[in-house]
Amino acid sequence: MAEILKNWLINQGVAEGLAGYVGWLGVALGVIILAFLSNYIAKRFLLAGVRYLVKKSRTKWDDALLEHKVFTRLSHLAPALVIYFSAYLFPSIQEPLQRFSVVYMIFAELFVFNAFLSAAVDIYRTFDVSRQRPIKGYIQIAKIVVSVFVGIIAIALIMGQKPWLLLSGFGAMTAVLLLVFKDSILGLVASVQLSRYHKCFISCSTMTR
């Protein structure tokens, strides 16, 4: 596409060097505009349609998904897909452009997954069993494990390496990960302790009866 635009500009009397730059910039600008349009359409029309259907629905689980912005975060995949499939228009940077697009989509899916788990916790709390068996701590563990796994895959893709090679240096990253997820780990420990105290209280109450 850039070459076609370049040749057209040359035929119009533009210098070859300038025509090359203008052609490349024109295609890049077109891809950027298309990415913005896809993001706008996804949020303005598709997401609006989903919100309308959720509000009309009588079920509660879809309300939790909407409240935790699962569908909103899912819409971020649209511009990344446009850039990924348009990367062939830039042969010199096609591979790194597609690589970073994939990394972006992986993190977007991670945010969708985390939002979905948060919605699942809210849905689970509507059941009576949630009072005796809370799952918030286990959900936090799942988020941490998946986030670490996704981070390793993303770094491997950026570096052009296989993910298992990065696992050899995982021990050095442990301290950093513990610092980053300190609040989540502390919340997990507190949740587990409260769960044990709650079960112990119920058992003691039953025995005294």
- Owner of token pair 């979905």: 116
For residue 5 the two structure tokens come to: 């635009």
9-19 in b/e form (b: 16+ CB < 10 A) is beeeeeeeeeb
d(CA 154, CA 150): 6
**Concatenated DSSP letters for the chain?**
-HHHHHHHHHHTT--HHHHHHHHHHHHHHHHHHHHHHHHHHIIIIIHHHHHHHHHH---SHHHHHHHTTHHHHHTTHHHHHHHHHHGGG-GGGHHHHHHHHHHHHHHHHHHHHHHHHHHHHHHHTTSGGGGTS--HHHHHHHHHHHHHHHHHHHHHHHHT--HHHHGGGHHHHHHHHHHHTHHHHHHHHHHHHHHHHHHHHHHHHHHH-
Domain-located, residue 138: yes
One-letter amino acid for residue 5 of the chain: L
Domain contains 61 = yes
pLDDT value of residue 150? 86
- Residue 4 sits in the same domain as residue 60: yes
Q: Based on the domain organization, do 14 and 84 belong to the same domain?
A: yes
Tally Cβ neighbours within 10 Å of residue 25.
12
Angle between helices 77-86 and 16-41 (to 10 degrees): 150
Nearest to 176 by CA among 152, 159, 158, 195: 152
- Residue 91 predicted with pLDDT over 90: no
Q: Verify that 89 and 14 share a domain, yes or no.
A: yes
Q: What is the pLDDT of residue 105?
A: 92
- Quick check: is 39 in a domain? yes
Q: Is residue 117 part of a domain?
A: no
Tell me the per-residue pLDDT of 142-157, one tens digit each, with 9 for 90 and over. Answer: 888 888 888 888 888 8
Q: How confident is the model at residue 176 (pLDDT cuts 50, 70, 90)?
A: low
Q: Residue range 191-207: average pLDDT?
A: 53
- Whether residues 7 and 50 share a domain: the answer is yes
Q: How much is the CA Rg of the chain, to the nearest whole Å?
A: 25
pLDDT score, position 106 = 92
The answer to the question of residue 116 being in a domain is no
- What six digits make up the tokens of 77? 């995949």
Higher-scoring residue by pLDDT: 102, 51: 102
Q: Is 126 in contact with 63 (CB distance < 8 Å)? A: no
pLDDT in tens, 22-41: 666 777 888 889 999 998 99
Mean pLDDT throughout 184-199?
Answer: 60
40 plus 139 within the same structural domain: no
Whether residues 131 and 100 share a domain: the answer is: no
In a domain, 192, yes or no: yes
d(CA 141, CA 153): 19
Number of separate domains in the chain: 2
The closest of 148, 74, 60 to 116, measured between CA atoms, is 74
Q: Verify that 99 and 133 share a domain, yes or no.
A: no
pLDDT surpassing 80 at residue 18: no
Same domain, 21 and 71: yes
pLDDT digits 0-9 by tens, 115-145: 999 888 888 888 888 777 878 878 888 888 8
Per the structure, the complete domain to which residue 208 belongs is given by 127-209
Residues 52 and 5 in one domain: yes
Q: What is the pTM of this model?
A: 0.70
Residue 197, pLDDT above cutoff 80: no
- My answer on whether 73 and 20 are in the same domain is yes
Asked which of 71, 105, 139 is the last residue of a domain, the reply is 105
> According to the model, what pLDDT value does residue 193 have?
60
Same domain, 131 and 171: yes
Return the minimum-mean-pLDDT range out of 1-5, 75-79, 174-178. 1-5
Could you give the CA distance from residue 79 to residue 36 in angstroms, rounded to a whole number?
7
Residues 100 and 132 in one domain: no
